[in-house]
């Protein structure tokens, strides 16, 4: 796959605070790249630097193989942006807003009309074309925000947390829409701090923290990078401390946490972890009330790599 | 070009549907006019019939002044000047060097000042003063209802003609990524900032001009105050005032990193201060400035508009019109150039 965005060692400072600390990122054509990290980790700053909206102190940024500058109008023509905040004209109707932004890229009136109709269809705002944004609900506003960013059918779309403060129904609608956009050959860079979204949507993920790219890869690749490959939660009717301490001897166990009645047993890469635990239970005549296995999540990846929860 | 036209259409729609523009730009000036009309209605029909000028005996200038219909010349001794001014027996005293001495400000004193200034100019040009027809230029040659209330209306018109400053700030805010969300989106598109701003200037200028036209029609047809005798010259100053306001707004909008609200406060402070100095809250400040810092009123754009509307329509004098128009154009050029310099900075330090 062709690399269409290359960010190399970018440093961005806001006075004393470092927002991007030798940040690196690559985006390949046709993928949905998730930029995952906690609030304030530098996701939006990274996007703004890539789009040359923000100046940066050090590093290089190339988009479509060319150095990105504020005057790179030919590159901007191929890019769509869905900003974090709803960014539309309050006194233009839904249709007028979409048509205005489409017109900044598409000169032909007939093509523009078709694109606007398709964008309205895409975000399902047909019944609201004559509404002003202030009359729309939060979810519908978000859809309008998306329509304005994708109406010109860009090759590369940056979406900056488009589902923040959106109800579950609208969120699912937006995520499905992003998949469809990607299916229509758009490359998507998607920032989020929602693990589930990144896991469900993105073909590749860059995890960010404190302005740094911690690690990147597919969900499976990221999970394979950490020591914990499986967690088994078990709750016993009763267990003596001496027996509990013996659980550490089960093959591949790396750590055991006790949370009330629940034992959370962490295993490193290995097979038959569950059957090994069941053998231990039988051997010691233990009775359990619940027992289930959890595969590692991106939060576990983040926790192991940064020492803190993504939701902290 | 197509881009600018499309931007004009959409920015025009956006501004025209903006409730704050409809109120502050269109309704508020009408409310102000009604307020002035109600407050000063009693003063509306004070006609200027006789202006009494004191003058030293046996001076040639007395012959000239006596020729003017509405001026009564009183030959008095310099020792009596203060007393007669105080008692109101004379409106002003002209000494041997054509210096004007007055005790208070008012329409009569202003007219005398204009007459004396013209006489001075004619003398400097070595043209025969006797042949000049001063009365044609002042009041009698016009149907203008000469009274002091209209001066306040000229000030009001001057002030609202600069109201484009707010639309200018709004336009500048819309195109800057560090000031508005929509600025972030616009800066990510291939639209050139200059095109957006040019469209913004055109739209703000035309919309404000429309607001001015509605105000003038209201004053003329509803309040029935006839303000304009020379539409062409008056239109030049109203148009320049609008252009100045919008461009000053753009300059305030692009020249600093303050929030939009702070910039609007700066604009309010600037317009109110300039209007205050031009005499909108009462002529005393203008007279005081004329006396102590005359330069300030010559460079105050609102004063330039007020004074010229006043002179053109009330006094029939276009003497300072060209200078005033050039001054306003100069301001427009300077602020436009400075705005361009600030806009050349393309990426932002923070958003």
Q: What is the pLDDT of residues A120-156, one digit of tens each?
A: 999 999 999 999 999 999 889 999 999 999 999 999 9
Cα B268 to Cα B270: distance, rounded to the nearest angstrom: 5
Burial of B301 (0-12, 13-18, 19+ CB in 10 A): buried
**Contact criterion met (CB < 8 Å) for A100 and B10:** yes
Every domain of chain A and the residues it spans: 3-218, 227-295
Question: In chain B, which residues have their Cβ closer than 8 Å to the Cβ of A105?
Answer: 189-190
Of B14, B18, B182, the CB nearest to A87: B182
CATH class entry, domain A227-295? alpha beta
* B35 phi-psi bin (left φ>0, alpha ψ -120 to 50, beta other): alpha
* Residue A292 at interface with chain B, using a CB cutoff of 8 Å: no
Does residue B131 surpass a pLDDT of 50? no
**Chain B CA closest to residue A146:** B185
| Highest mean pLDDT, choosing among A82-96, B159-173, B246-260, B313-327 | A82-96
* Strand ranges of the sheet holding A262-268, from the earlier edge strand across to the other edge: A253-259, A262-268, A228-236, A288-294
Of B17, B181, B190, the CB nearest to A105: B190
Question: In chain A, which residues have their Cβ closer than 8 Å to the Cβ of B6?
Answer: 100, 103
Torsion of CA A299, A304, A305, A308, to 10 degrees: 70
Residue A23's pLDDT band (boundaries 50, 70, 90)? very high
pLDDT at B147: 54
The string of pLDDT tens digits covering residues A164-197 is: 878 888 888 889 999 999 998 899 999 998 888 8
pLDDT at B60: 66
Q: What is the largest CA-CA distance in chain A?
A: 79
Task: List the Cα angle B173/B178/B181 in 5-degree steps.
Answer: 70
**Contact criterion met (CB < 8 Å) for B13 and A51:** no
Does residue B172 surpass a pLDDT of 70? yes
| Total length of chain A | 312
Task: List the Cα angle A31/A36/A40 in 5-degree steps.
Answer: 140
The string of pLDDT tens digits covering residues B60-105 is: 677 777 777 678 888 888 888 888 888 888 888 888 777 888 887 7
B67 vs B322 pLDDT, higher one: B322
B123 vs B131 pLDDT, higher one: B123
pLDDT at B36: 83
Q: Which residues contact B98 (CB under 8 A, 6 or more apart)?
A: B61, B116, B119, B120, B123
Does residue A89 surpass a pLDDT of 90? yes
Question: By the 8 A CB rule, do B223 and B37 touch?
Answer: yes
Every domain of chain B and the residues it spans: 2-42+145-343, 51-137
Q: What percent of chain A shows pLDDT beyond 70?
A: 99
Question: Number of A:B CB contacts under 8 A?
Answer: 88
Question: In chain B, which residues have their Cβ closer than 8 Å to the Cβ of A100?
Answer: 6, 10
* Residue A107 at interface with chain B, using a CB cutoff of 8 Å: yes
B59 vs B25 pLDDT, higher one: B25
pLDDT at A311: 60
For A204, phi then psi, to 5°, come to -145, 150
B110 vs B171 pLDDT, higher one: B171
Cα B170 to Cα B249: distance, rounded to the nearest angstrom: 8
Residue B140's pLDDT band (boundaries 50, 70, 90)? very low
Residue B51's pLDDT band (boundaries 50, 70, 90)? confident
pLDDT at A95: 98
Average pLDDT, chain B: 82
* A165 phi-psi bin (left φ>0, alpha ψ -120 to 50, beta other): left
Question: In chain A, which residues have their Cβ closer than 8 Å to the Cβ of B348?
Answer: 53-55
pLDDT at B202: 95
Interface test mutation site (partner A, options B21, B167, B188, B349, max chain A beta carbons within 10 A)? B188
Average pLDDT, chain A: 92
Instruction: Give chain B's contact residues with A (Cβ, < 8 Å).
Output: 2-3, 6, 10, 13-18, 177, 180-182, 184-192, 346-351
For B94, phi then psi, to 5°, come to -110, 120
B317 vs A192 pLDDT, higher one: A192
pLDDT at B283: 63
A253 vs B76 pLDDT, higher one: A253
**Contact criterion met (CB < 8 Å) for B187 and A71:** no
* E strand spans, chain B: 51-55, 71-75, 92-94, 100-101
The second-level CATH assignment, the architecture, of A3-218 is 3-Layer(aba) Sandwich (3.40)
Please compute the mean of the pLDDT values over residues B24-35 and round it to a whole number: 89
Does residue B207 surpass a pLDDT of 50? yes
CA distance A109 to chain B (A): 11
pLDDT at A105: 96
CATH number belonging to the domain at B51-137, selected among 3.40.190.10, 3.40.1390.20, 3.90.850.10, 3.30.450.260: 3.40.190.10
The string of pLDDT tens digits covering residues B57-69 is: 655 677 777 777 6
CA distance A197 to chain B (A): 24
**Half-sphere exposure of residue A245, counting CA atoms within 13 Å on the CB side?**
3
Task: List the Cα angle B137/B138/B140 in 5-degree steps.
Answer: 105
**Contact criterion met (CB < 8 Å) for A91 and B13:** yes
Closest-CA residue to A135 (of A81, A91, A196): A91
Question: In chain A, which residues have their Cβ closer than 8 Å to the Cβ of B186?
Answer: 104
Please compute the mean of the pLDDT values over residues B42-59 and round it to a whole number: 67
**Contact criterion met (CB < 8 Å) for A54 and B189:** no
Please compute the mean of the pLDDT values over residues B110-139 and round it to a whole number: 62
8-state DSSP, B103: S
Question: By the 8 A CB rule, do B240 and B160 touch?
Answer: no
pLDDT at B59: 58
DSSP track, chain A = --EEEEEEEEEEEETTEEEEEEEEEEEETT-EEEEE--TTSSHHHHHHHHTTSB--SEEEEEETTEE--TT-HHHHTTEEEE-SS----TTS-HHHHHHHHHHTT---HHHHHHHHHHHHHHTT-GGGTT--GGGS-HHHHHHHHHHHHHTT--SEEEEESTTTT--HHHHHHHHHHHHHHHHTT-EEEEEES-HHHHHHH-SEEEEEETTEEEEEE-HHHHHHHSSEEEEEEEEES---HHHHHHGGGSTTEEEEEEETTEEEEEEES-S-HHHHHHHHHHHTT--EEEEEEE---HHHHHHHHHSS-TT-
B71 vs B11 pLDDT, higher one: B11
């Amino acid at each position: 796959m062709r690399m269409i965005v290359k960010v190399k060692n970018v440093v961005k400072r806001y006075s004393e605070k470092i927002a991007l600390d030798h940040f690196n990122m690559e985006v390949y054509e046709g993928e949905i790249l998730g930029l995952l990290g906690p609030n304030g980790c530098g996701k939006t700053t990274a996007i703004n630097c890539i789009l040359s909206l923000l100046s940066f102190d050090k590093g290089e940024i190339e988009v479509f193989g060319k150095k990105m500058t504020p005057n790179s109008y030919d590159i901007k023509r191929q890019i769509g942006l869905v900003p974090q905040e709803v960014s539309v004209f309050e006194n233009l109707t839904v249709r007028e807003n979409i048509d205005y932004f489409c017109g900044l890229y598409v000169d032909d009136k007939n093509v523009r009309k078709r694109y606007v109709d398709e964008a309205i269809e895409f975000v399902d705002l047909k019944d609201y074309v004559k509404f002003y944004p202030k009359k729309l609900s939060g979810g519908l506003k978000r859809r309008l925000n998306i329509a304005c960013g994708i109406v010109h059918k860009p090759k590369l779309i940056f979406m900056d947390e488009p589902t923040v403060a959106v109800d579950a129904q609208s969120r699912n609608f937006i995520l499905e829409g992003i998949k469809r956009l990607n299916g229509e050959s758009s490359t998507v860079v998607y920032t989020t701090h929602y693990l589930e979204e990144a896991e469900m949507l993105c073909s590749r993920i860059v995890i960010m923290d404190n302005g740094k790219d911690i690690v990147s890869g597919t969900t499976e690749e990221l999970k394979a990078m950490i020591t914990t490959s499986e967690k088994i939660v078990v709750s016993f009717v009763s267990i003596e401390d001496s027996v509990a301490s013996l659980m550490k001897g089960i093959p591949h166990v790396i750590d055991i946490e006790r949370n009330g009645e629940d034992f959370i047993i962490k295993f490193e890469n290995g097979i038959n972890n569950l059957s090994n635990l069941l053998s231990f239970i039988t051997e010691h005549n233990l009775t359990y009330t619940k027992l289930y296995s959890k595969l590692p999540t991106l939060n576990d990846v983040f926790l192991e790599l940064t020492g803190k929860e993504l939701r902290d | 070009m197509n881009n600018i036209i499309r931007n004009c259409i959409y920015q025009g729609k956006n501004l025209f549907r903006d409730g704050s523009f409809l109120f502050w730009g269109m309704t508020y000036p009408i409310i102000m006019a009604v307020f002035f009309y109600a407050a000063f209605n009693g003063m509306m029909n004070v006609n200027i019939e006789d202006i009494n000028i004191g003058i030293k005996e046996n001076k040639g200038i007395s012959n000239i002044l006596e020729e003017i219909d509405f001026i009564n010349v009183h030959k008095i001794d310099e020792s009596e000047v203060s007393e007669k001014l105080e008692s109101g027996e004379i409106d002003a005293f002209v000494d041997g060097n054509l210096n004007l001495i007055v005790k208070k400000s008012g329409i009569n004193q202003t007219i005398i000042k204009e007459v004396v200034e013209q006489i001075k100019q004619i003398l400097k040009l070595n043209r025969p003063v006797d042949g000049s027809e001063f009365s044609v230029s002042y009041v009698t040659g016009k149907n203008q209802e000469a009274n002091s209330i209209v001066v306040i209306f000229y000030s009001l018109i001057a002030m609202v003609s600069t109201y484009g400053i707010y639309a200018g700030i709004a336009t500048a805010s819309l195109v800057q990524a560090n000031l508005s969300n929509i600025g972030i989106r616009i800066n990510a598109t291939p639209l050139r900032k200059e095109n957006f701003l040019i469209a913004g200037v055109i739209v703000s200028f035309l919309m404000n001009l429309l607001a001015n036209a509605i105000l003038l029609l209201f004053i003329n047809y509803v309040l029935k105050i006839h303000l304009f005798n020379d539409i062409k010259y008056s239109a030049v100053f109203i148009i320049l005032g609008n252009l100045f306001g919008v461009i000053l707004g753009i300059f305030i909008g692009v020249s600093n990193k303050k929030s939009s609200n702070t910039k609007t406060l700066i604009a309010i402070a600037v317009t109110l201060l300039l209007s205050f100095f031009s005499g909108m809250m009462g002529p005393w400040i203008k007279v005081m400035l004329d006396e102590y810092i005359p330069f300030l009123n010559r460079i105050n754009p609102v004063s330039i508009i007020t004074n010229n509307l006043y002179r053109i329509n009330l006094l029939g004098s276009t003497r300072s019109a060209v200078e005033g128009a050039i001054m306003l154009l100069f301001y427009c050029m300077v602020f436009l150039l400075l705005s361009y310099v600030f806009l050349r900075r393309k990426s932002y330090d923070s958003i």
